[in-house]
């Protein structure tokens, strides 16, 4: 039952058959093919360059890329972990060992 629902949902994603033998050889089909060719010729050509935004776009992509945010994150996590470890465990051993 789930497979039929998935198939019905994906049915709209599959493009219709445009270049059938009847569409290419017939008189009205030629006009139809010309409109399809005209549509595809107007589309942009080449690789699409996705623009990244946010932290990734600001620090890691482009000409101003650097590893500073990565190193700052690692250093911040280290300081947070050491502070947590000190307050929960090491402060206990400061003056007396057990």
State which H helix or E strand residue 34 sits in.
helix 27-41
pTM for the predicted model, two decimal places: 0.41
Q: What is the pLDDT of residue 12?
A: 59
Distance set, CA 72 to CA 42, 51, 60, 77, 90 (Å)? 46, 24, 14, 9, 25
pLDDT (tens digit per residue) in 19-75: 566 655 655 556 667 777 777 888 778 777 777 778 787 787 777 788 888 899 999
- Distance CA(7)–CA(1), nearest Å, equals 10
Q: Over 90: is that where the pLDDT of 78 sits?
A: yes
Domains in the chain: how many in total? Answer: 2
Is residue 46 one of the residues assigned to a domain?
no
Residues 10-18, mean pLDDT to the nearest whole number: 58
Q: Are residues 36 and 62 both part of a single domain?
A: no
Q: Which domain holds residue 37?
A: 2-41
The more confident residue out of 20 and 82 is 82
Q: What is the pLDDT of residue 22?
A: 61
Is residue 12 one of the residues assigned to a domain?
yes
Q: Are residues 27 and 58 both part of a single domain?
A: no
């Amino acid at each position: 039952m789930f497979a039929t629902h998935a198939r019905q949902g994906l049915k709209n994603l599959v493009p219709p058959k445009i270049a059938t033998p009847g569409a290419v050889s017939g008189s009205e089909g030629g006009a139809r093919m010309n409109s399809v060719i005209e549509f595809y010729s107007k589309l942009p050509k080449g690789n699409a360059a996705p623009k990244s935004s946010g932290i990734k776009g600001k620090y890691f992509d482009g000409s101003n890329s650097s590893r500073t945010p990565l190193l700052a994150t690692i250093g911040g996590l280290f300081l947070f972990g050491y502070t947590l470890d000190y307050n929960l465990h090491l402060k206990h051993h400061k003056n007396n060992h057990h």
